Amino acid sequence: MAAAEAAAPPGGGCPAAGGGSVPVLFCFSVFARPSTVPHGAGYELLIQKFLSLYGDQIDMHRKFVVQLFAEEWSQYIDLPKGFLVSERCKVRLVPLQIQMTTLGNLTPSSTVFFCCDMQERFRPAIKYFGDIISVGQRLLQGARLLGIPVIVTEQYPKGLGSTVQEIDLTGAKLVLPKTKFSMVLPEVEAALAEIPGVRSVVLFGVETHVCIQQTALELIGRGLEVHIVADATSSRSMMDRMFALERLARTGIIVTTSEAILLQLVADKEHPKFKEIQNLIKASAPESGLLSKV
């Protein structure tokens, strides 16, 4: 398990000579399964045991840390350096989320834009649809200026139509029909794998509480940082939209605005594309009141 090995503390090693097995409770997610390991087992053998017990549930693309329950603190602590099992204990495998040092930091080289289901048949039903089209188009123009890959999906286009004509998909890396609500399809995962160093996804479209929400949750489950553009996502019901954004924010997803995204991506007035991004923002900023509904 290469990802877990990268987080291994030095010194955990093979069992020491001399004796017997030690009972250990192995915890992962909501599960707890008792087993045994040889006396003197270290980090590597604990990882092997976790894989034997939970291998079908562990995402091999994630990074993990092993923690030990410390009686003196009455809580789990990171496995001490050089730890060897010598007595009955309880350990757990914890998936690491986003590195706190990079939380919210966008750069063009590590970002991809996801445009979700901005289709003609949704026009009469989605609140502020004209405004999110305008903001979505601004984001796609910004992506082209900054060389950011764009992935687009269309929900059942045979029945719901194609992406609206106002949205220019020139240069999009992938435009894909789907029936699944989430955008995270095998073809999308393959496209992401072709983008070196991708860390952040900027997500917008419809509907906030269905396709946007399910896409965002799947993406963070794969260790990606997700930025939802509040002024470029909507639903038929403002209540559904509001509660979806609140829920997503509580999970660590970043709810932000199109202007904040574009200016964060250029980061500096001296950026060679700053003037073009600035003009784009000035020329296409709708005043719809949508952000007052967040």
pLDDT (tens digit per residue) in 67-114: 999 999 999 999 998 999 999 999 999 887 644 445 688 999 999 999
Which of the following CATH numbers is that of domain 21-95: 3.10.20.90, 3.40.50.300, 3.40.50.2300, 3.90.700.10?
3.10.20.90
Q: Using alpha carbons, select from 222, 218, 215, 225 the residue that is nearest to residue 252.
A: 225
Whether 168 sits among the annotated catalytic residues: the reply is: no
Mean pLDDT of 31-52: 92
Whether 158 sits among the annotated catalytic residues: the reply is: no
Each residue of 252-283: pLDDT tens digit?
899 999 999 999 999 999 999 999 999 999 88
Which of the following CATH numbers is that of domain 111-281: 3.40.50.2300, 3.40.630.30, 3.40.1260.10, 3.40.50.850?
3.40.50.850
Looking at the DSSP bridge assignments, the partners of residue 66 are: 93
Distances (CA, A) of 207 to 29, 115, 149, 230: 30, 11, 22, 12
CA distance 11 to 68: 16
> Domain extents for the chain?
21-95, 111-281
Indicate if the pLDDT at residue 12 is higher than 60. Answer: no
From the candidates 49, 63, 127, 178, give the one annotated as an active-site residue.
178
From the candidates 27, 115, 116, 211, give the one annotated as an active-site residue.
211
Q: Among 124-128, 157-161, 282-286, which is the least confidently predicted range?
A: 282-286
Let me know the angle formed at the C-alpha of 27 by 13 and 31, rounded to the nearest 5 degrees: 150
Cα–chain-centroid distance for residue 202?
10
Tokens 């001296």 found at:
270
> Residue 247's CB: how many other CB atoms inside 10 A?
14
Amino acid 284: pLDDT:
65
Contacts of residues 257-260 at CB distance under 8 Å and 24 or more positions apart, as own/partner, are: 257/229, 257/230, 257/231, 257/291, 258/135, 258/138, 258/139, 258/204, 258/229, 258/231, 258/232, 259/285
3-state DSSP call for residue 134?
helix
From the candidates 49, 117, 131, 231, give the one annotated as an active-site residue.
117
Whether 89 sits among the annotated catalytic residues: the reply is: no
Average pLDDT of the chain? 88
